[in-house]
A and B are shown apart, each in its own frame.
Chain A
């Protein structure tokens, strides 16, 4: 076991989530593969970003990791123990250590509860702490996320979006988590507030040694905060690797298209525009072969019939693409 492997706090393997969908009274039930075989690892103090468009399965992954949904198949290991087979105290303990921050700060705080009650709820449920020490912890974390003690007795509607997201972060920290799953935590915020919240998240990560699973569609944010990036398309990982590798030389055509579609202020950072035709295929009946072939300009016959596997390159990046395997992606040869 190498040093870095020791630090792995959360690991998923072959995670699947299939939903049965009724298509009408006399038709056979359809299967939606929201997540179809996803593997990942995340180390303490590191950030794994999950990137993709809506419908790619990134939110399903977040729901699995926080045990809101049970995977159809696969393993989730937290500190070496399989979450899915845990029971009783162990399960409760694991649940406390994996927390979630939601996208919409207006919906994630109970509008009828005071900030203090919201923050202390996890403690009330999971611990036998007395009210005084609960309050002490809540105040301590309010301070940590840059809010004041007097905010303890207020209701959520008195706060701005950025402040609410700070409260949500404080709530996530109440149980001393090891892993925080952040589902688009800054995409509902204004630019200047977004920077404040991102800074806060990074400060807290350093201070508490948290591992982040950072789900986002905003690549410029991901580039800034992530150590490793996982690009998903229709329930599968298409490219996965160190942030620097992915952003300096995207290998999968989809990653490249995503990057080139992201607007940039600095003209030097803009890369040649690749416009993907069409839209994400319906997960109800995904195309045969590589799921991306319908929108890919490099697709050939093989892509239409066979499904590529994830292949590792010499720099530790995983790519799921026949074009890459066969060396026919011309942008890589420039």
Chain B
């Protein structure tokens, strides 16, 4: 009689367990929903966008949004200073921003994991060297450092991405190293050593999966940071160059219309705000869902 409940209870896969905890945080689920929405929008930008992001409608410069007075139905969110459709640019901009965020997080996370594992696993002089270098990186203000790097390499989307990856690196190194130190002396690692596993296998196959939870959380939060900082670099003219539709760049070129045409500034700003918020909410939910497992 009790048997069925037992067999249902027993083999709950980690994924199911994760979803069970994640679901309890309503903000996180909303964040996830919004992120999925943005991602879909970015992927389907070509299909969804009513116009090309770079096509200039010279007759419709600074048209207000469709719902405002004097708006045009064909430009739902209005047009900018050279007559480009803002909605289309936001959709295509999502592509660029998400891609940049993803690349930056991936690059800094992969590098951070490698360095962090090396530092934590081998300790001694390797550890000291890596950690002091990362301390130096961390001691400079993030955006300032990124600006300096871009200034040397020249303003472009690739260079600013590189610069930001480097700036975020220390966070991932520290996190990975701390978890590696904690896991390194657990019995299951030692038993793999007894089985004859070499350091590479120990680091990446045995230890790493157990350090991933905090890294995933940090990655999600870092994603929003990356989008924000990229927008800041774009705003300063160091990131994406016009006419590519990047959210930060859109904001910066719209500066002159702040007082005359509110929609040109508001919508890119709102996009950045909501996307960053969604990622942060999702990150919080991930932390809640992944942490209880760590504590076991």
Instruction: State yes or no: do A and B touch (Cβ within 8 Å).
Output: yes
- Would A100 and B296 count as touching, CB distance under 8 A? no
How far is B189's CA from A96's CA once the two chains are assembled, in angstroms? 16
Q: Is chain B's interface secondary structure helix, strand, loop, or mixed overall?
A: helix
Counted as pairs of residues, one from A and one from B, with CB atoms less than 8 Å apart, the total is: 65
Of B87-95, B139-147, B160-168, B194-202, which binds chain A?
B194-202
- Would A122 and B188 count as touching, CB distance under 8 A? no
Interface centre among B11, B196, B206 (most CB of A within 10 A): B196
How far is B186's CA from A35's CA once the two chains are assembled, in angstroms? 22
What are 6 of the A-B contact pairs (CB < 8 Å)? A68-B193, A68-B194, A104-B187, A107-B186, A107-B187, A171-B191
Nearest CB on B from A24, distance (A): 20
How far is B206's CA from A105's CA once the two chains are assembled, in angstroms? 17
- Would B191 and A100 count as touching, CB distance under 8 A? yes
Residues of B within 8 A of A312 (CB): none
Q: List CB contacts (< 8 Å) of A71-113 with chain B.
A: 92, 95-96, 98-100, 102-104, 107-113
**A324 within 8 Å of B (CB atoms):** no
Residues of B within 8 A of A155 (CB): 13-14
**Which residue of chain B is the closest to A105 with respect to CB atoms?**
B187
Q: A68-B190, A102-B187, A107-B187 are in contact. Are A122 and B11 (CB under 8 A)?
A: no
**A67 within 8 Å of B (CB atoms):** yes
- Would B210 and A122 count as touching, CB distance under 8 A? no
- Would A95 and B210 count as touching, CB distance under 8 A? no
How far is B192's CA from A171's CA once the two chains are assembled, in angstroms? 10
Residues of A within 8 A of B190 (CB): 68, 100, 102
- Would A157 and B11 count as touching, CB distance under 8 A? no
**A190 within 8 Å of B (CB atoms):** no
- Would A125 and B196 count as touching, CB distance under 8 A? yes
**B70 within 8 Å of A (CB atoms):** no
- Would A158 and B196 count as touching, CB distance under 8 A? no
Q: A102-B191, A171-B191 are in contact. Are A110 and B196 (CB under 8 A)?
A: no
How far is B201's CA from A158's CA once the two chains are assembled, in angstroms? 25
Residues of B within 8 A of A103 (CB): 187
**B209 within 8 Å of A (CB atoms):** yes
Residues of A within 8 A of B13 (CB): 155
Interface size class for chain A?
Answer: 20 to 34
**A206 within 8 Å of B (CB atoms):** no
**A307 within 8 Å of B (CB atoms):** no
Nearest CB on B from A176, distance (A): 13
**A325 within 8 Å of B (CB atoms):** no
- Would B194 and A95 count as touching, CB distance under 8 A? yes
How far is B59's CA from A145's CA once the two chains are assembled, in angstroms? 81
Nearest CB on A from B187, distance (A): 4
How far is B196's CA from A100's CA once the two chains are assembled, in angstroms? 12
- Would A154 and B196 count as touching, CB distance under 8 A? no
Residues of B within 8 A of A121 (CB): 192, 195, 197
**A126 within 8 Å of B (CB atoms):** yes
How far is B188's CA from A100's CA once the two chains are assembled, in angstroms? 11
Nearest CB on B from A165, distance (A): 12
The 4 residue pairs across chains A and B that have the minimum distance between CB atoms: A108-B187, A112-B209, A122-B195, A102-B187
**A66 within 8 Å of B (CB atoms):** yes
Interface string of A30-72 (1 = CB under 8 A from B): 0000000000000000000000000000000000001110000
- Would A92 and B196 count as touching, CB distance under 8 A? yes
**B4 within 8 Å of A (CB atoms):** no
**B10 within 8 Å of A (CB atoms):** yes
Nearest CB on B from A117, distance (A): 9
How far is B14's CA from A107's CA once the two chains are assembled, in angstroms? 18
Q: List CB contacts (< 8 Å) of B199-245 with chain A.
A: 201, 206, 209-210, 212
How far is B13's CA from A68's CA once the two chains are assembled, in angstroms? 33
**Which residue of chain B is the closest to A111 with respect to CB atoms?**
B210
Interface string of A116-148 (1 = CB under 8 A from B): 000001100110000000000000000000000
Residues of B within 8 A of A111 (CB): 188, 210, 293, 296
Nearest CB on B from A101, distance (A): 9
How far is B110's CA from A80's CA once the two chains are assembled, in angstroms? 47
- Would A99 and B209 count as touching, CB distance under 8 A? no
Nearest CB on B from A60, distance (A): 13
Nearest CB on A from B19, distance (A): 15
**Which residue of chain A is the closest to B198 with respect to CB atoms?**
A125
Interface centre among A109, A111, A113, A122 (most CB of B within 10 A): A111
Q: A104-B187, A121-B197 are in contact. Are A157 and B210 (CB under 8 A)?
A: no
Interface string of B54-87 (1 = CB under 8 A from A): 0000000000000000000000000000000000
Q: A107-B188, A108-B188, A111-B296 are in contact. Are A125 and B210 (CB under 8 A)?
A: no
- Would A109 and B196 count as touching, CB distance under 8 A? no
How far is B196's CA from A113's CA once the two chains are assembled, in angstroms? 18
Residues of A within 8 A of B193 (CB): 68
- Would A125 and B195 count as touching, CB distance under 8 A? yes
Interface string of A154-191 (1 = CB under 8 A from B): 11011000000000100100010000000000000000
Q: List CB contacts (< 8 Å) of B143-184 with chain A.
A: none
Residues of A within 8 A of B12 (CB): 158
How far is B9's CA from A158's CA once the two chains are assembled, in angstroms? 9
**With A102-B191, A110-B210 already in contact, 20 other A-B pairs whose C-beta atoms are closer than 8 Å:** A68-B190, A68-B193, A68-B194, A92-B196, A98-B194, A99-B194, A108-B187, A109-B188, A110-B189, A111-B188, A111-B296, A121-B195, A122-B195, A125-B195, A125-B197, A125-B201, A126-B196, A155-B14, A158-B10, A168-B191
